Amino acid sequence: MISQNTNKLNITEELLGISDIRVVSSEMDRNGHIIVRVESTVEKIPCRQCGKSTRPHGRSVICRMKHLPICGRPTFIEITPRRGKCEDCDGGATTTQQANWYERNSEYTKAYEKHAVISLIHSTIADVAIKEDLSCAAVQGIIDWHVVTEVNWDQIKKIGLLGIDEISLKKGFRDFVTVLTAKTEAEVQMLGVLKGREKATVTAFLKTMPKRLRRTISAVCTDMYEGFINGAREALGQDIPVIIDRFHVAQLYRKGFVQIRKSELKRLQKELSREEYQRLKPAIAVLCRKNPFSSADEKSS
């Protein structure tokens, strides 16, 4: 929970969703950003050269990374990693402790990077950049960092609903990447980001999934792109149902709705007098606002 006393906050490790850390302090700065200072509870620092345990050797510079928002406010985590010195290596090699929840020299935690990539589904780089207060180059950099050809399936316990979605990196729907996600109950986990959207790429990736995880797939959710549908069936078999994302179904309904509305307007303009047609305009405007398949509804579906 968060309890506010002036600009001091009480942020817990559970609220951050990060293990092996202790919250040292937390506060809200003048910009309304939440700043959480943490330290690692892991004592051992393996030598980067020989892998043996090192002895304490001070701390490195402060690392500050953007994390998942708390109560809608931008949240940043600060950590000053411990350093260790190896007594077995020539020259006494020093090593900076590295935690598993962020990458060295990254400006974002791993959880935040995955959040940014998942936010791109049914959206654009420009939209996510505005929403997350990032540059388009920063969003593109996060995507590039997460492009993979294989995944460590040992870290995945269950798939649930397997999502296959494409993201267009440029205007005009050019230069795609494919995002694969696993949804179990309310949790969405990113499995990987693939370069392009070719059937062969998706099929090859899914074929690396072990049988124990395939048995946990309830369904595959994707758009109407045959490459994704056929790739999933080829890699996972015909027994797993493939369903169409309601976002794309809504797009089709909306397209039909707009076509009918335009044709009816043209017909009414021809059949009605100018005065009668003008009287209908308010009702037409209300009908358009109540369109159940508007783009706003699509994005929230």
The pLDDT assigned to 299 comes to 39
- Burial (CB count within 10 angstroms: exposed 0-12, middle 13-18, buried 19+), residue 11: buried
Residue 240: pLDDT over 80: yes
Section 118-130 average pLDDT: 89
d(CA 103, CA 203): 29
Q: Give residue limits of the domains in the chain.
A: 13-103, 145-244, 248-300
Task: Report the 10 Å Cβ neighbour count for 282.
Answer: 9
d(CA 180, CA 149): 12
Task: Tell me if 194 sits within 8 A of 205, measured CB to CB.
Answer: yes
Residue 301: pLDDT over 70: no
The pLDDT assigned to 227 comes to 92
Encoded amino acid at 116, one letter? A
d(CA 65, CA 85): 26
Residue 92: pLDDT over 90: no
Section 139-148 average pLDDT: 90
d(CA 36, CA 44): 23
- Express each pLDDT in 162-187 by its tens digit: 999 988 876 545 678 999 999 987 78
Residue 279: pLDDT over 90: no
- Express each pLDDT in 191-212 by its tens digit: 999 999 899 999 999 999 999 9
Which DSSP category does 75 fall into? E
Q: Architecture of domain 145-244 in CATH? A: 2-Layer Sandwich (3.30)
Separation in Å, CA 204 to CA 89, 198, 199, 232, 235: 42, 10, 9, 10, 7
Regarding pTM above 0.85, the answer is no
